[in-house]
Amino acid sequence: MSDKDSKENEKVHTDFKERMTYGEYLHLDELLSAQKRLSSHHDEMLFIIIHQVSELWMKLILHELTESIYAIQKGELASAFKMLARVSNIQVQIIHAWDVLSTLTPAEYIEFRDKLGQASGFQSYQYRMVEFALGYKTPHVLKIYQKSPELHEELTRAYESPGIYDAAIQKLAEAGLDISSDVLHRDYTKLYEKDPTVEKAWMRVYKDVDQYWDLYQLAEKLVDIEDRLQQWRFRHMKTVERIIGHKTGTGGSSGVGYLKKVLDHRFFPELWDVRTSL
**Residue 232 and residue 91 in contact, taking contact as beta carbons nearer than 8 Å:** yes
Q: Is 156 annotated as a binding residue?
A: no
Instruction: Work out the angle between the directed axes of helices 125-133 and 149-160 (0-180°, nearest 10).
Output: 20
**Residue 115 and residue 39 in contact, taking contact as beta carbons nearer than 8 Å:** yes
Q: Is 233 annotated as a binding residue?
A: no
Choose among 250, 230, 249: nearest CA to 136: 230
Query: How many whole angstroms from its chain centre is CA 192?
Result: 18
Q: Is 51 annotated as a binding residue?
A: yes
**Residue 191 and residue 217 in contact, taking contact as beta carbons nearer than 8 Å:** no
Q: Is 236 annotated as a binding residue?
A: yes
Q: Is 188 annotated as a binding residue?
A: no
**Residue 231 and residue 95 in contact, taking contact as beta carbons nearer than 8 Å:** yes
H helix or E strand, kind and range, residue 2: none
CA 15 to each of CA 4, 19, 20: distance values in angstroms, whole numbers, following the listed order: 21, 8, 10
Handedness of CA 135, 51, 113, 259 (dihedral sign): positive
Q: Is 48 annotated as a binding residue?
A: yes
Q: Is 16 annotated as a binding residue?
A: no
Please tell me the total number of residues recorded for the chain in this structure.
278
CA Rg value for the chain? 23
Residues in binding site for heme: 236
Please state the residue numbers annotated as binding site for substrate. 47-51, 109, 113, 250
Residues belonging to the binding site are 47-51, 109, 113, 236, 250
